[in-house]
Amino acid sequence: MDGGTRIALPTEKIIALCRDGVGWLIFNQPERRNAISQEMWDGIAAAGTAFAADPDIRVVVMRGAGDQAFTAGADISEFEKVRADAAAEEAYHARSAAAGRALKALQVPLVAMIRGYCVGGGMAMAMRADLRIASADSRFGIPAARLGVSYAQESLDRLTQLVGPSWAKHVMFLARLYSADQALAMGLVNEVVEPEALEATVTGIAAEIAQNAPLTIRAAKTMIDQALLDPSRRDVAGNAALERACFDSEDYKEGRRAFMEKRRPVFRGR
């Protein structure tokens, strides 16, 4: 995609751009259907950290380079070298986990723009997003049962939260590929559009989010995520502080003024 300020990363296989309040995280290995290698996990972690530190970023969008895949998951060509046994898997997991933590630490919405294959670790990556918008030619699946590997508990938790236990078992036991319409029906994605409309649709959604009140969105994201936790594990005091921050903010005053003046508010996140 064109335009924006590019962030320097440790690998060219991950691209990070900032444009109009939107951070773009691009998996850039199209010759391998954007399969994620070890070095790409390091790039994802660096990009997530950079986005989190930029106060101008209001939303982050993940996408794959080209039109063949969002990401086809982990780069299986590396498995013999970097995931040959349990000890090697622990070292590999440490790098992928760092990328996961960087994305989880984002206080702004994370959107997955999905075109083509979204399988295995690609599904795990997409499920980290708050919203998933897919093209009609996308395909989804988790082939773990065809490889003899275990899917991570954290990813299974997300899958079950999104689609429910019955569909989660269907996905895991059969190891099938599902169409975009099937993914929509089971609740895996929020919206399906024609391929030629995908980028414009996601760009429009990101722009809408970027125009809304950042403190309100931060509070909503945090508290909706915590609604999935057992009540004893929720940060009640922290959530209350997020609510107070909204009502004490300049943005709340601006929202009231804009409503009375019948104009669009200009929010500044403070």
What integer is the mean pLDDT of 183-211?
98
Q: What is the pLDDT of residue 82?
A: 60
- CATH code for the structural domain at 5-210: 3.90.226.10
Domain ranges of the chain: 5-210, 213-260
Percent of the chain with pLDDT over 70: 94
Out of 3-7, 39-43, 220-224, least confident range: 3-7
User: What is the arrangement of strands in the sheet containing 59-64, beginning at the earlier edge strand?
Assistant: 5-6, 14-19, 22-27, 59-64, 110-114, 131-135, 191-193
- Proportion of the chain in helix, strand, coil states, percent, rounded to 5: 55, 15, 30
For the question of whether the overall pTM of this predicted structure is more than 0.85, the answer is yes
In this structure, the strands spanning 22-27 and 117-119 are: unpaired
Q: Is 134 helix (H, G, I), strand (E, B) or coil?
A: strand
pLDDT digits (tens, 9 = 90+) for 40-94: 999 999 999 999 999 999 999 999 999 999 999 877 766 666 655 666 667 777 8
DSSP-assigned letters across all residues of 38-69: HHHHHHHHHHHHHHHH-TT--EEEEEESSSSE
